[in-house]
Amino acid sequence: MSGQSQYSFILASASPRRKQLLTEAGYKFTVLRPDIDELAFSTKNVKPYEYAERLALAKAKNIAEKHPDCLVIAADTIADFEGEIIGKPTDAMEAEQITNKLFSRPHKVITGIAIVRLRDGIELNQSDTTTVYPKKLTAEQIAEHIKSGTWRDKAGAYAIQESGDEFIERIEGSLTNVMGLPMELLERLLKRLIEQETPFQ
């Protein structure tokens, strides 16, 4: 169980995968869905990791403004295909296009994390990057994946913990990052707050 589990915070995310990772690690938290328009954030002239960090920070601040005394943690995950930012597909056609692209060669998965508390000006914002080496999928495998609908609401149109053996040859970096929340980075950021003797409550 994580050493930070004694502290509580708000998770600004509706992601069941992030909730599961935090719960399994022993964290105490409540969940609130941020209300931001991700389409309002341009992907032009911005590095993929900067984009992920900006969205994570916007999500955290959206909830923190309503709960200024609470510590708020948010995350945003994207795929980086040779510098192209790829988020969640909007429909089956886009999911198929993304799958064909990402599983043609190695790509990166980037998750930005933001930790915010307005009361005392806490604002931490970093990202983690994992390189994914995919297996070559057949047309039948891709068609089955699209038909299954498991691509919905997932950056890059796949989730490694659900069908990683089918899709992934190997990864370099954090597995939980690909799942949507790099737990190692989160623990480092929370440890930094503790070392600064900043109380969470």
The first and second tokens of residue 23, run together, are: 């719960």
Instruction: Say if strands 84-86 and 72-81 run parallel, antiparallel, or are unpaired.
Output: antiparallel
Catalytic residue among 35, 37, 76, 153: 76
By CB atoms closer than 10 A (0-12, 13-18, 19+), residue 115 is: buried
Is residue 153 part of the annotated active site? The answer reads no
Among 168, 152, 186, smallest CA distance to 3 is for: 186
Distance from C-alpha of 28 to C-alpha of 6, rounded to nearest angstrom = 7
Any idea which residues carry the catalytic annotation?
76
